[in-house]
Structure 1
Amino acid sequence: MVFPDYRPRRLRQNSTFRGLIRETHLSADQFIYPLFVQPGKNVREEIPSMPGVFRISIDQLAAEAKECLGLGIRSVILFGLPDKKDAMGTGAHIKDGIIQRAIREIKNKVPEMMVVTDVCLCEYTDHGHCGCLINQEVDNDATLEILAKTALSHAQAGADMVAPSDMMDGRVAEIRAALDENNFEMIPIMSYAVKYASSFYGPFRDAADCAPQFGDRRSYQMDPANSREALREATLDVDEGADILMVKPAVAYLDIISKLRDEFDLPVAAYHVSGEYAMIKAAAEKGWIDGEKVMAETLLSIKRAGADIIITYFAKEMAKLLRK
């Protein structure tokens, strides 16, 4: 069909036509909203580099969860700031750790909220790396047992799903085994299967107080230049028992989201990370962009690339916009 017999504009001429043929849709129940939990009471502290995002104390969690549910957001992912840190990140798996208490608070008071937990050690180690160290190097295999204990402690506290973000080789299998051996075979694993050593994480590291005290994370997180390696990483996690595959960051890696969507039939998640959020907020504050429209277009691009699930700090704002 060629012009003038076929005119694509016929189906764009008003909102009804556009809605009828729209290929990609955003839905609040496919968002996961990140929450930063810190010690104390009546704490609601805005993160300077992430306007509209707060560190909150456990006593504030129920209200936050209820607000999310009211907007149609049915899942949150928790990140904790512990009272103390040590070289082995032991605060990650203690029974009364910050996340374990946070899980119980939400599940006791807002049981219908799905609670996902980030499984990593960087927030709990005094050196800021995602595993235990030997001679200033992250020891992969020694870290696996600690990660499995952490995931198990989250399940025991009532978490609905665990999400290992450490990028240690073999951690999905180790976590799956620990969960299954302790009668948590129905707890799914959303693996950060493809997590790049990105420069977009800066505001998150401020929020969670987890910047490495020396060096960087390039020896265990992926090289941003690599694409084929992403498929190898994801394949390993599928073989080890992952239920959902995640790509992080999202916007700078839409091609990777698309590759995973084409290659695997598991659900694909994408983490719209702190730096991607902060850039939109900063430009909107300057008046350089329409923040609301850019937010919507950005999240739509992530969904269009193939993500079934989007973890985003914009979840509440976008959910409100979808209701208009």
Structure 2
Amino acid sequence: MAKPSGHHVFNAFRGALIGTAEAVPGVSGGTVALITGVYEKLIGGAGHVTSALRMGASDLPRGRGAARARAELRNVDWMVLVPLLVGMAAALVLSAKLIAPVVEEHPQFAYALFFGLVLASLWVPYSGSGKRWTGGNYALCLVVAVGAFLLTGLPPGEMPTHPVVVALAGSVAICALVLPGVSGSFLLLTLGLYEPTIDALNERDFGYLAAFALGCVVGLALFVKLLKWLLEHYHHMTLVVMTGLMAGSLRALWPWQDDDRGLLVPSGSVGLTCGLIVLGAAVVIGVLVVEHRSRAAEPKEPAAAQKRGRHARVASGSGRD
């Protein structure tokens, strides 16, 4: 039975939130996907699409490519994925024109809001596997957090806008889209390609955008399959690493920092800045409470389905982690 159209609108809204996050340096679209409950659906769908493309190309000479690709594409939940992608694309274009300038003009206040949002979001991967954390899990999370902290402290660079360079940057940025805690826009900013990419979006520079899109397709095809496999077989450990990435990436959103990303002590409108941090955290907590209550109101699933947890594992091999 088809879902009501309201579900499509809500999925498009969730996609819009993800697209908006990708336009803001320091905010990960993967983090927003986790908060809104569509992360593994998004990764699973992308994995099936890339598999279908690979099967279609590899089996085309033997005449079986189209049939195998269609079979793989039937595993995609298009009722969720299509509205998500439409919302993401529309929001990304609008955010590049509307939100990115606001962040550039008022970075302290904007980063404060996002800092609170990501800080509260740490609860999502921390609790998402349904398993108890061990001492080793906390140690691994700390190591990953330190690595992310150092990475986000790198000063902005500058690279040429040659099509090959742009394609490579796109392949890296798209991996950040599907990896919570790592911001694609922040990586572009580190490479010195954030402003050229925003300008290309606003000015409809299709040559630049085509090279960037090609890199995104290649990066997505390579990375999503790996991430999908990790979520299937090492679900708990993957979420431990994601928690560390998100925690370490908070450095990029610290409201008080200089132009070279050096951290400063709080100063200037401290009360308003802290209030925005609290507001960002409150928004996430509100979303999680609403989601929890809506899930509690749903009919109980069979015990076998409940074993998969909040972020459903897609293969029984996940017990190996």
Global fold match (TM > 0.5): no
| TM-score under structure 2 length normalisation | 0.26
| More helix by percentage | 2
| More strand by percentage | 1
Q: Which has the higher contact order (CA 8 A, sep 6+)?
A: 2
| TM-score under structure 1 length normalisation | 0.26
